[in-house]
A and B are shown apart, each in its own frame.
Chain A
Amino acid sequence: GALVYQYPRRTICKSGTSMRMECQAVGFQATSVAWYRQSPQKTFELIALSTVNSAIKYEQNFTQEKFPISHPNLSFSSMTVLNAYLEDRGLYLCGATGGNYAEQFFGPGTRLTVL
């Protein structure tokens, strides 16, 4: 079956520092990876969509300078939150699509706390 893993599951960082989170697809080829953020008490906002061999598309209010993403192959993607502040806390999900699957598979998320 198709599975998506995310590391770490939880992380705490000091305000102004950066942290990197990873997403791994198993059992299918993740041609597209979407990164979402769920801020406290809110819904899931799309940060960016990464498709292998294409430019990464960032949504309004999110930039590459703040959330650089790497998607080097069909099973792995990573995103860094640079210079994290309180408003960056929340649950970060990656959703991967590809292979013979039409649906998007989600990892369990990385929960970021900023002190």
Chain B
Amino acid sequence: AQSVTQPDARVTVSEGASLQLRCKYSYFGTPYLFWYVQYPRQGLQLLLKYYPGDPVVQGVNGFEAEFSKSNSSFHLRKASVHWSDWAVYFCAVKNSAGNKLTFGIGTRVLVRP
């Protein structure tokens, strides 16, 4: 069965510093991977998605992620964090039929001024 692990429940980072959020997946075959963000009291917004191709994927608001098949990872990065990035970030993998997602537990990002 497919699964997603986000090992860090919470990450605190200073504004302007770089950010990396870790995601490991388990999937038989070629995975389709996503990062979503949930701002306080809101639903999910798509940050970026990986479909087989270039392993580095660019997303919105300066986010990017890198797919690694050998490490079964899809880590999210941002070079310079802004206070508005304070949110919970979810990594997800899509099933082969493409109609449902399995989510990680989420990583809460706190931004220090």
Spell out A's residues near B (CB within 8 Å).
31-32, 34, 36, 42-44, 46, 49, 51, 91, 93, 95, 97, 102-104, 106-109, 111
For the complex, what is the distance from the CA of A93 to the CA of B36, rounded to whole Å? 13
Chain A proximity mask over B92-104: 1 for CB below 8 Å, otherwise 0: 0010011111111
A49 touches B99 (CB 8 A): yes
Is chain A's binding surface mostly helix, strand, loop or mixed?
A: strand
Q: Inside 8 A of B90's CB, which chain A residues have their CB?
A: 43-44
Interface assignment of B46: CB less than 8 Å from any CB of chain A: yes
Spell out B's residues near A (CB within 8 Å).
32, 34, 36, 41-44, 46, 49, 51, 90, 94, 97-106
- Residue in B closest to A42 when the chains form the complex, CB atoms: B105
- Chain B nearest CB: distance from A113 CB in Å? 12
- Residue in B closest to A35 when the chains form the complex, CB atoms: B100
For the complex, what is the distance from the CA of A108 to the CA of B36, rounded to whole Å? 13
For the complex, what is the distance from the CA of A107 to the CA of B46, rounded to whole Å? 11
B103 touches A49 (CB 8 A): no
Number of A-B residue pairs at CB separation under 8 A: 55
Q: Inside 8 A of A111's CB, which chain B residues have their CB?
A: 41
A108 touches B99 (CB 8 A): no
A43 touches B103 (CB 8 A): yes
Given contacts A42-B105, A104-B94, contact A49 B42 (CB under 8 A): no
- Chain B nearest CB: distance from A45 CB in Å? 8
Extra A-B contacts (8), CB below 8 Å, given A34-B100, A42-B105, A95-B101: A31-B99, A44-B44, A44-B90, A93-B44, A102-B51, A103-B46, A104-B94, A109-B44
